[in-house]
Structure 1
Amino acid sequence: MIETVVLDVGETITRDDRYWGAWADWLGVPRHTLSALVGAVVAQGRDNADALRLARPGVDVEAEYRAREAAGRGEALDETDLYDDVRLALAELRRLGVRVVIAGNQTSRAGELLRGLGLPADLIVTSGDWGVAKPQPEFFERVLEVAQARPGSTLYVGDHPANDIFPAKAAGLRTAHLRRGPWGHLWADEPTVVAAADWRIDSLRQLASIVVG
């Protein structure tokens, strides 16, 4: 029985359009160019920040992030960044008595912005808050601490096989691979992903049936 559902953030809860568009504008490159570079590094299994380094060789990503914040052009999230199924899906899970946690690889600032949206979740945390990021095992140890349920009763939902499905499975959690965003679509039918995912879904609205099933 699933008692707790833990969800990734980028391309699970939120679209990444604004994130990459803002970076393209800041670096002075066309948005479609950076989008194509993101797709290229995704296909190669590389860190998505490598897209920024390809767009501007030698760029110090952390320094540019701080410069954006200082210039008032830093991270932003609002209701339009949420996928359409998020609020309904999370509210239905809580109605069923399931603990809902959102935990992904984001900055502490992104966590603040997410908490400000009033989502129907019991807890929202980020790798920036914890000081440890996926796919490190320590991240999933923290997930289990806040899940307040046994690994076999905890479901981790995400789009990225290497960051979400494989390490969550290794930690003993149940897993649901979401076909959403470039990572979710690119590897949706990869045999290793199919084998590792307990469920494969196209919408967060399907989570309720997993819980009651």
Structure 2
Amino acid sequence: MIETIAFDIGETLVRDDRYWASWADWLDTPRHTVSALVGAVVAQGRDNADALRLIRPGLDVRAEYAAREAAGRGEHLDETDLYDDVRPALAELRSLGVRVVIAGNQTVKAAQLLRALDLPADLIATSGEWGCAKPSYEFFARVLAASSSAPYATLYVGDHPINDVYPARAAGLLTAHLRRGPWGCLWADDPEVVAAADWRAGSLGDLIAIVREQNG
């Protein structure tokens, strides 16, 4: 039985277009260049911030983030950043009695922006608030604490195998790999991902059928 579903944020609930476009504009670099480099470094198993350092070697990303905020060109999220299926799927899952948790690798400000959207979720938290990030075991221990459910009754949904599927499975949670965004599409049919994920989803709406089947 699935009692809690915990969701990754970037490219699971929220499009990353605006985030990387804003970095491109700040660094005075074509947006396509930034997008391509982010894809390249992540496919190589590197941190996505390495893409920014390829553009500007030695870049202190945290300091630059603070400078953007001070200049009024910082992080922003609104309704247009959400995938279309987010609100209806989360609302339907709650109506089925499932606890909905949103937890991903995001900043403290991102958590505040997400809460301001008044999403149908029981809890929203980010790595910036918890002081630990995926794929660490500590992050998924925090997810389990927030879920108020046993690991075998908690499903973690995300698009990234290394940050989402593999570590969630290692922590004992159920997992669903979402074919969405660059990482979700890149690894959707990888044999290791297929073997590691309890379910594979093409949209958040697929989770509703999964819950109905598992919960009877």
- TM-score relative to the length of structure 2: 0.98
SS at match of 2:111: helix
- Residue in structure 2 matched with residue 196 of structure 1 by the alignment: 196
- Residue in structure 1 matched with residue 17 of structure 2 by the alignment: 17
Shift of 1:168: 0.2
What's the C-alpha RMSD, in Å, of the aligned pairs? 0.5
Shift of 1:172: 0.5
Structure 1 portions without partners, runs of 5+ = none
SS at match of 1:102: strand
- Residue in structure 2 matched with residue 86 of structure 1 by the alignment: 86
Count of matched residue positions in the alignment of Structure 1 and Structure 2: 213
Separation in structure 2 between the aligned mates of residue 148 and residue 209 of structure 1, nearest angstrom: 22
What code does the residue aligned with 1:52 have?
Answer: L
Alignment of 1:1-213 (within 5 A): 1-213=1-213
Separation in structure 2 between the aligned mates of residue 7 and residue 188 of structure 1, nearest angstrom: 17
Shift of 1:39: 1.3
Separation in structure 2 between the aligned mates of residue 44 and residue 72 of structure 1, nearest angstrom: 33
What code does the residue aligned with 2:136 have?
Answer: Q
Separation in structure 1 between the aligned mates of residue 127 and residue 35 of structure 2, nearest angstrom: 24
Deviations 1:106-126 (A, max 9, x none): 000000000000000000000
- TM-score relative to the length of structure 1: 0.99
SS at match of 1:14: coil
Work out whether residues 157 and 164 of structure 1, in 8 Å CA contact, stay in contact via their aligned partners in 2. Answer: yes
Shift >6 Å, 4+ stretches: none
SS at match of 2:177: strand
Work out whether residues 42 and 182 of structure 1, in 8 Å CA contact, stay in contact via their aligned partners in 2. Answer: no
Shift of 1:43: 1.7
Separation in structure 1 between the aligned mates of residue 178 and residue 77 of structure 2, nearest angstrom: 21
Separation in structure 2 between the aligned mates of residue 207 and residue 189 of structure 1, nearest angstrom: 18
Shift of 1:52: 0.5
